Amino acid sequence: MPLIKGCSRRAISENIRTESRAGRPHKQAVAIALSIADKNAYKCAPRKKKSTSAK
């Protein structure tokens, strides 16, 4: 089964689950999923930083 291309939490979780079910060790599955997310990170919009104002 092909891995999901994306950098959302859902995509990373699905990719870890897919790799684990394929028989890979958990640490390796995590590394693969994060690698796929990193390669596709340019497609994701940067998250806005929450401004903290001192009151």
Q: What's residue 19's pLDDT? A: 95
Residues 6 or more apart whose Cβ sits within 8 Å of residue 5: 11, 36, 40, 43
Is residue 3 in some structural domain?
Answer: no
Is residue 49 in some structural domain?
Answer: no
The tally of domains found in the chain comes to 1
Q: What's residue 47's pLDDT? A: 65
Is residue 1 in some structural domain?
Answer: no
Is residue 36 in some structural domain?
Answer: yes
Contact 38, 5 (CB under 8 A): no
Q: How far is CA 30 from CA 4, 8, 20, 21, 26, in A?
A: 14, 14, 9, 12, 6
Q: What's residue 26's pLDDT? A: 96
Domain residues for 32? 9-43
Over the stretch 5-55, which tens digit does the pLDDT of each residue have?
888 899 999 999 999 999 999 999 999 999 999 888 777 766 667 777 666
Is residue 35 in some structural domain?
Answer: yes
Q: What's residue 40's pLDDT? A: 82
Q: Is the pTM of this model over 0.75?
A: no
Is residue 51 in some structural domain?
Answer: no
Is residue 37 in some structural domain?
Answer: yes
